[in-house]
Chain A
Amino acid sequence: MSKSGTILYLDGVSVSFDGFRAINNLSLVLDKGEMRAIIGPNGAGKTTMMDIVTGKTRPDTGEVFFDGQTDLTRHDEAEIAMMGIGRKFQKPTVFENHSVEDNILLSLKGPRSIFPALFHKHSAEEKRRIDEIFSVIRLGDKRHDLAANLSHGQKQWLEIGMLLAQDPKLLLVDEPVAGMTDAETEETARLLKDIAKTHSVIVVEHDMHFVRELGVKVTCLHEGSVLSEGTLDFVSSDERVVEVYLGR
């Protein structure tokens, strides 16, 4: 497989924790601009895969390349985030004691060292960027509220907004619709499809209706490696997927 033209390239990646193989010879390639849905039963290694890509976990073996050229295994979380990989956690993680706007402000692309932050002044450009993000995530009327006071679904959107503020090339989105109402789920699918027009995205999700809504290529993981890959219809009719994940 060639790395050129890929935004994310994993080849032969394995990692074990105390003898348990969380990821087992995993190979996965994401093209630039592609959106991919990843499904799989609990413990299939979905979150561990994200940990590896974002530098939280170092793989025992295997290659992980970003943008066709950068070896991600040599970098840590902050460096990888600065290269342009944004990550939304499974449990929405926002700064609860800050206003919604400050959450976005802290995420905005820009210098990440101490002294610029200490002497930071608000600029018109920043305000424009923040307004832009609020128009995408539709939380404009909540911008002065504490993030702690948002509903679960709104926190998910805020976290997605924080990713957008980073202006990443690749977004890793872990279970964006967990705990959402049907209406919110639909809204989130629309939001992600919008984002996918200009970014590469990986979405991990259990909700099959939501995955269908996205209408993208699906990868099913099982026991740390790829079980099946293709359109949702292809994957969901795959005998092995039915066996381990969807159930008969």
Chain B
Amino acid sequence: MISGKFFAAGADRRIAITIAILVAVAIVVPILNLALPPDSALHVPSYMVALTGKYLCYALLALSLDLVWGYCGILSLGHGAFFALGGYAMGMYLMRQIGDRGVYGNPLLPDFMVFLNYKELPWFWHGFDQFWFAALMVMLVPGLLAFVFGWFAFRSRVTGVYLSIITQAMTYALLLAFFRNDMGLGGNNGLTDFKDIFGFSVQANTTRSALFAASALALALGVFVTWRIVGSKYGKLLMAVRDAESRTRFLGWRAENVKLFAFTLSAVMAGIAGALYVPQVGIINPGEFDPANSIEVVVWTAVGGRATIVGPIVGALLVNAGKSWFTGALPELWLFALGGLFVAVTLFLPKGIVGTWDQWRARSRHRAAPDEADGDAGSEEEVVVRVEPRPAAQLKPPHGGLAPQPAE
């Protein structure tokens, strides 16, 4: 039923196409990498698979930020923390997979613990030898942190720039905490030297391809879930809270709960992105909590276009591809380019790439058929209303689209 609705009447063709592309990429890229000989023109080199797999995780992180920032106006400057926590949960599983193959050959304790004279495994490392447990923690730890943090922040009605600052403080506090050796999570060096995942070598091409496919599918799922949420009545409420929070309160809605749900779900998505990221890059260390990382996520999302679902993905892929090229060609200029990009986007493309494209399309369509937009209310109204309960308002904006949101 969902898929019927999904492909009906172009309810939102762009989302469908995005999901289709991601699924296709998840299937085709591993085949092109593994089945074709390296000298074939269509062969995808392994380093490309690893690199794009990493970008797809970033895209999922940007999408999770879009859910709270684009749709609910919560500018989180600490989303990297949820990503890193998901990454650490996965890293702990990978550490336990090393077993006695570490430098010190201790069957139970990871190398850094032997080095730091740990006598036994800290309590919170138990269970991470099981993948299901680690997978649960990947979602539970960021989700729980977001829930507790959000519960206090939203209940106290901390909004706008103050909320942004405390999210930043949160990730910074975690950065400092994870740097400590007595945290039991590898301190400065973090977790690394991974060997296996599910018994397959993390270095193997097949494993890398599988992780790439998993990242693409996770992103596709993230797009689908975000799209369904944003299209529901709850999604409308989310945007209503963004635009006129006090109005929603006086209508009887608990704005803090509306935000809390989105914030927690978003943190879980970010955690999953982090968990897929770690085996692909082979390391997780406290640097991932760096506030600058979280701010970079904001830049990707803004560049792609807030509240567009596809925008943050485009933004994350483009900016990171740019970063890879830049840091290779002109490494000392990258940070200037990133800063300049953010300034330029804020000034000239406040809606981001996708948002500007939509605006341009809507304008040219409007010019071509000025009456078409009002024609919806005619005889096919019944069908339109049922198939696409989302109004013209959100995703096909013939009336001018979303008003620009303040960046707070």
Residues in chain A near residue B393, CB distance under 8 A: 97-99, 102, 146
Residues in chain B near residue A106, CB distance under 8 A: 233, 236-237, 240, 248, 251, 253
Determine if A112 and B400 form an interchain contact, defined as CB atoms under 8 angstroms apart: no
Residues in chain B near residue A101, CB distance under 8 A: 391
Determine if B236 and A118 form an interchain contact, defined as CB atoms under 8 angstroms apart: no
Shortest CB distance B309–A (Å): 15
Determine if B244 and A145 form an interchain contact, defined as CB atoms under 8 angstroms apart: no
Interface centre among A98, A99, A141 (most CB of B within 10 A): A98
The answer to whether A143 has its CB under 8 Å from any CB of chain B is: yes
Determine if A112 and B254 form an interchain contact, defined as CB atoms under 8 angstroms apart: yes
Task: Classify chain B: how many residues form its interface, as a range.
Answer: 35 or more
The answer to whether A120 has its CB under 8 Å from any CB of chain B is: yes
Determine if B247 and A78 form an interchain contact, defined as CB atoms under 8 angstroms apart: no
Residues in chain B near residue A86, CB distance under 8 A: 250
Residues in chain A near residue B400, CB distance under 8 A: 146, 148-149
The answer to whether A114 has its CB under 8 Å from any CB of chain B is: yes
The answer to whether B239 has its CB under 8 Å from any CB of chain A is: yes
Neighbour of B237 across the interface among A93, A117, A143, CB < 8 A: A117
Q: How far is the CA of A222 from the CA of B274 in the complex (A)?
A: 60
Residues in chain B near residue A97, CB distance under 8 A: 239, 243, 393-394, 402-403
The answer to whether B130 has its CB under 8 Å from any CB of chain A is: no
**B244 to A, closest residue via Cβ:** A93
Shortest CB distance B69–A (Å): 15
The answer to whether A199 has its CB under 8 Å from any CB of chain B is: no
Neighbour of B258 across the interface among A93, A96, A107, A114, CB < 8 A: A114
Residues in chain A near residue B246, CB distance under 8 A: 56, 77, 89, 93
Residues in chain A near residue B251, CB distance under 8 A: 81, 106-107, 162, 166
The answer to whether B295 has its CB under 8 Å from any CB of chain A is: no
Residues in chain B near residue A148, CB distance under 8 A: 400, 403
Neighbour of A114 across the interface among B244, B261, B389, CB < 8 A: B261
Determine if A118 and B229 form an interchain contact, defined as CB atoms under 8 angstroms apart: yes
Task: Classify chain A: how many residues form its interface, as a range.
Answer: 35 or more
Determine if B250 and A96 form an interchain contact, defined as CB atoms under 8 angstroms apart: no
Residues in chain A near residue B249, CB distance under 8 A: 77-78, 81
Q: How far is the CA of A106 from the CA of B251 in the complex (A)?
A: 8
Determine if B240 and A95 form an interchain contact, defined as CB atoms under 8 angstroms apart: yes
Shortest CB distance A148–B (Å): 6
Residues in chain B near residue A149, CB distance under 8 A: 399-400
Q: A106-B237, A162-B251 are in contact. Are A144 and B257 (CB under 8 A)?
A: no
Determine if B403 and A96 form an interchain contact, defined as CB atoms under 8 angstroms apart: yes
Determine if A105 and B233 form an interchain contact, defined as CB atoms under 8 angstroms apart: yes
Shortest CB distance A166–B (Å): 6
Residues in chain A near residue B253, CB distance under 8 A: 78, 106, 112
Residues in chain B near residue A99, CB distance under 8 A: 391-393
Q: How far is the CA of A244 from the CA of B234 in the complex (A)?
A: 48
Residues in chain B near residue A144, CB distance under 8 A: 376-377, 391-392
**A103 to B, closest residue via Cβ:** B240
Tell me which residues from 217 to 251 in chain B have a Cβ below 8 Å from any Cβ of chain A.
Answer: 229, 232-234, 236-237, 239-240, 243-244, 246-251
Determine if A118 and B250 form an interchain contact, defined as CB atoms under 8 angstroms apart: no
A 122-151 to B, binary, CB cutoff 8 A, 1 in contact else 0 = 100000000000000000010111101100
Residues in chain B near residue A117, CB distance under 8 A: 232-234, 237
Residues in chain B near residue A107, CB distance under 8 A: 251
Sample 16 A-B pairs with CB under 8 A, ordered by A number.
Answer: A95-B244, A95-B247, A97-B239, A97-B394, A98-B239, A105-B233, A105-B236, A117-B234, A118-B233, A118-B234, A122-B386, A144-B377, A145-B399, A148-B400, A149-B399, A166-B251
Beyond the given pairs A98-B393, A112-B252, A122-B389, 18 more chain A to chain B contacts, judged by CB atoms under 8 angstroms and listed by A's residue number, are A77-B250, A81-B250, A82-B252, A94-B247, A96-B243, A97-B243, A98-B239, A98-B394, A105-B236, A106-B237, A112-B253, A113-B257, A114-B257, A114-B261, A117-B234, A144-B376, A144-B391, A162-B251
Q: Closest 6 A-B residue pairs measured CB to CB?
A: A81-B252, A99-B391, A120-B233, A117-B234, A77-B249, A118-B234
